[in-house]
Amino acid sequence: MTQTILVLTEEALTLPDLRNLRTLQGEEPAEVVVLIPEDRNESVLGEFFRHLSLLEVGEAFRSLSPDDRRDDEAAARGALEQSLQLLRGESFTARGRTTKGNPVDALVQEAAGSGAAQAVVITRPHAMADTFHTDWANKAQDKLGIAVLHLYSGSGFIGDS
């Protein structure tokens, strides 16, 4: 029987991310379902403060721009296609979609429909959200009845969820 691993990510998956997923897959074949949000409404404020903390004042205010959010939709579709190609190229069975609205709600909805055994949230570190446990992984853990692992993109580092 094929297991399902849900992946919620904010950007295209990388080879290190696939190595982590292969470890989670174990001996049983798994179908990987990738969800990438088209908008960043959930993290606009976090991005704003992240840029400010790095003294990137101009970039902080540009992250609030509606034009920047429209670019996010195209970037999400491109990241999804890139992720699916990478997964299939590494012999994973994979499908996915971009989401609108709250990404955690989309993950919960997909979990209910797929019978997934586990979920993985792959993000860049977000100081504010990670510190105050308001990141996607913590929110998903509160809403899902399955294991949720938080990994930092491109690494083997595990977030605190």
- Which two structure tokens, joined as six digits, stand for 44? 């606009």
pLDDT tens per residue across span 88-132: 999 899 999 999 989 999 999 999 888 887 899 988 776 555 554
Q: Does this model's pTM top 0.85?
A: no
The whole-number average pLDDT for the span 71-98 is 92
d(CA 54, CA 135): 20
Q: Quick one: which of 106, 98, 88 has its CA closest to 21?
A: 88
Domains of the chain (ranges; CATH) run 3-152 (3.40.50.620)
